[in-house]
Chains A and B, each alone.
Chain A
Amino acid sequence: MYRTWAIIERELRRFRRSPTLIVISLLFPIVQLVILGYAFGGNVRHLTLAVVDRDRGVPAVKLKELAGSIAANAGTFEMIPYADEGAAILALRNGRVNGVLTIPPDYSRRVLSHAAPRVALIEDNTDNFVAASMGATLNGMIGAANQPAVTSQRMPGQVTLDVVEIYPYVPYIQYLLPGSVVMSIFMMVMIGGGIIFIDDKARGLHEGYLVTPITKFELIAGFVLSGAIKAVLAGFVLMTIGSVIAGIPHPFDPLRLLRMLAVIVMTALALISMMFLLMVRVTDPLVPRAIFGVLNTLLYFPSGAVYPQQGFPGWMRVIAVADPFTYAVHAFKSLLLKNTGFAAIGGDLAYLSIFTLIAMTAAVRLFRRTL
């Protein structure tokens, strides 16, 4: 029994002397609780709704006023007026708006003549949570429009909302795939650029590099590019296998593969730069292992990979705005679920490039070519 106590004593003494690990091991479940707690099931708000009014009659204006009051009060969506339905649908495909409410030219006439007036909601159904929230809110609004102050009987004059989905049905596994592709890139960066990098440093392998005439820039470029190559391979393999598993239509469309490759490369560069910045002054091999989980939770769940960001509380949207995962996930969703072109992902690629540039500049400044 004494021997057992000796082991217990040793383990507890060792434990007490690693305060960082204790803090991180307690921090991890807290971060997970908070992030996951707010990541799922929040009311989806702050959507954008394009409104195309091709009627301009008084009933149409009333309908828009009703929508305006929802925007001002519940804040489910903001309205953006579009003159041209074509432009509105293009904005929908490129992800700038979440739905298009079209009021047809004969709307006022039909309302006034009780001839079954209809309005249409064209929605981006690649995000079921967003689509459901938008549809429910507008249905509620139409219901309110159909409650005149004087008469209450159901009659042909009541407006109906036709919901048009512009994409085929997206099962949840397809919805999750973009996040998984980003995760595969992150995992490889974490292992190759984090754990192995620090292990090599601790084993003195970097000392071997530092005594050669290699310049600081050549050394960093070597670390970053080798990490990026590994991460790109991981991302590409996961995208291909994942597309087949999740049943993405036309998984080997060459043009899309090319666009995907561009996003994978930029994501890999952004994440490896971030990892290099985090690890540039670290020497303890436990650190990358300890922060693995925290970083994973902190980057993955707020990115919109599992639930729309419109459902997040304000502070989490702040994380989401800075999170490189957000832009990578958005770009992969556009390409995999909507098969869009570069127009829809230009902003994502721009953010990832700027993120890479800033993280890399900071890392290079912090990197020391001596021990």
Chain B
Amino acid sequence: MDAIDVRQIVKSFGDFTAVKGISFTVGEGEIFGLLGPNGAGKSTLIRMLVTLLPPTAGTALVGGFDIVTHQDQVRRLIGVIPQAMTSDTELSVEENLLIFAKLYGVPREKRKRLIDDLLAAVELTQWRDKQVRQLSGGMRRRVEIARGLVHEPKIFFLDEPTTGLDPVSRVAVWEMLRKIKAERDLTILITTHYMDEADKLCDRIAIVDHGELKALDTPGRLKAAIPGKNVLEASFAPVPEGWTATLQALPSVEGVTPHDNIFRIASGNGPATTMALMSAAAQANVTVQSLSVQSTTLDDVFVHYTGRALRDALHDAPRLDISHMRR
């Protein structure tokens, strides 16, 4: 049985459709990533799966239970880390976990052992009596991860758990998740807009944009599926007439996308294309202002499927107002 089975799920807020009929399944024990810019519908999707929002149409099975008709059973099975930092800053680390253990009805005799184990897992044992307000953002996130696991859920939902954290804390959160995952029988669904995070952490990735599922596969296959093994990014001065066509004609080139002054060149053989590009530029009396050669990344995958770079999409997409969603 699949841990999560999403079936043609739709969510509209008035005239605006945030999620436009998405379907996918997540296998048991998988780390599944939902990747997309802000406003892509990731949070709305995850909120429906964790029973915070009722879907407008369609449904999903989580742990075999329908999120519309069997909300209570779903809630017992899942652990959730909402996007906002929702740990209670006035309470201590341990009190935060204790309150949630009680909310989930964890029996008294199990509580202490579970909390001890979790605090050790997120490396907060020595901070257990500190008020959460005294902790850094990364530590607070770890408190929330521990809190979400306090009732030993089978399926763990994390909505952008590393947004707003510094790079070191982000890596610490990934490590923690990987370790926790290794020690327990857990399926993880995580949303993120960080490509590297999705690449390193996830078994499979779904790319979501404008409320639609654009692609779904393992990070490796997603990268392999798009043209070229390498991507060259270069800028030139001056840019002669028909330059795009010239670049297109270089050896091993599989595609050229001009973007302002920068040309993204997908290539099956990075070094060969680079050599040819340099000599073509010299012949045409064009200065190469900048040149970089990279292996294909998820960024390129994203550009391929959505037609724009994720960093642009991050700026384009209006940040969804949460209060608007609550109404």
Q: Are the CB atoms of B52 and A203 closer together than 8 Å?
A: no
Who on chain B is nearest to A219 by CB? B103
Q: Are the CB atoms of B100 and A370 closer together than 8 Å?
A: no
| A303, B62: Cα distance in complex, Å | 54
Residues on B with C-beta less than 8 A from A370 are 51-54
Residues on A with C-beta less than 8 A from B87 are 208
User: Closest CB-CB distance, B9 to chain A, in whole Å?
Assistant: 15
Interface-side segment among A81-89, A101-109, A164-172, A210-218: A210-218
A6 at the interface (CB under 8 A from B): no
B146 at the interface (CB under 8 A from A): no
B205 at the interface (CB under 8 A from A): no
Q: Are the CB atoms of A211 and B51 closer together than 8 Å?
A: yes
List A183-223 residues whose CB lies under 8 Å from chain B.
202-205, 207-215
A9 at the interface (CB under 8 A from B): no
Interface-side segment among B76-84, B236-244, B257-265, B304-312: B76-84
User: Closest CB-CB distance, B102 to chain A, in whole Å?
Assistant: 10
Q: Are the CB atoms of A213 and B52 closer together than 8 Å?
A: no
Q: Are the CB atoms of A371 and B86 closer together than 8 Å?
A: no
A340 at the interface (CB under 8 A from B): no
Q: Are the CB atoms of A213 and B105 closer together than 8 Å?
A: yes
Q: Are the CB atoms of B104 and A211 closer together than 8 Å?
A: no
A203's partner among B50, B84, B104, B327 (CB-CB below 8 A) is: B84
| A227, B84: Cα distance in complex, Å | 25
A283 at the interface (CB under 8 A from B): yes
Given contacts A213-B76, A371-B52, contact A208 B323 (CB under 8 A): no
B75 at the interface (CB under 8 A from A): yes
List B178-199 residues whose CB lies under 8 Å from chain A.
none
Residues on A with C-beta less than 8 A from B76 are 213
B203 at the interface (CB under 8 A from A): no
Residues on B with C-beta less than 8 A from A213 are 72, 75-76, 103-105
- Name the interface size band of chain A: 10 to 19
User: Closest CB-CB distance, A281 to chain B, in whole Å?
Assistant: 8
A212's partner among B53, B83, B104, B325 (CB-CB below 8 A) is: B104
A162 at the interface (CB under 8 A from B): no
Residues on B with C-beta less than 8 A from A202 are 323
A65 at the interface (CB under 8 A from B): no
Q: Are the CB atoms of A283 and B86 closer together than 8 Å?
A: no
Residues on A with C-beta less than 8 A from B86 are 203-205, 207-208
B212 at the interface (CB under 8 A from A): no
Q: Are the CB atoms of B84 and A371 closer together than 8 Å?
A: no
| A214, B53: Cα distance in complex, Å | 16
Q: Are the CB atoms of A211 and B78 closer together than 8 Å?
A: yes
List B41-64 residues whose CB lies under 8 Å from chain A.
47, 50-54
Q: 1/0 contact trace for B66-110 toward A, CB 8 Å? A: 000000100110101011111110000000000010011100000
User: Closest CB-CB distance, B152 to chain A, in whole Å?
Assistant: 14
Who on chain A is nearest to B83 by CB? A204
User: Closest CB-CB distance, B197 to chain A, in whole Å?
Assistant: 22
6 contacts between A and B (CB under 8 A): A203-B84, A204-B322, A207-B86, A212-B103, A214-B103, A283-B326
A-B contacts besides A204-B322, A211-B50, A211-B80, 6 pairs, CB < 8 Å? A208-B80, A208-B147, A211-B78, A212-B100, A213-B76, A213-B104
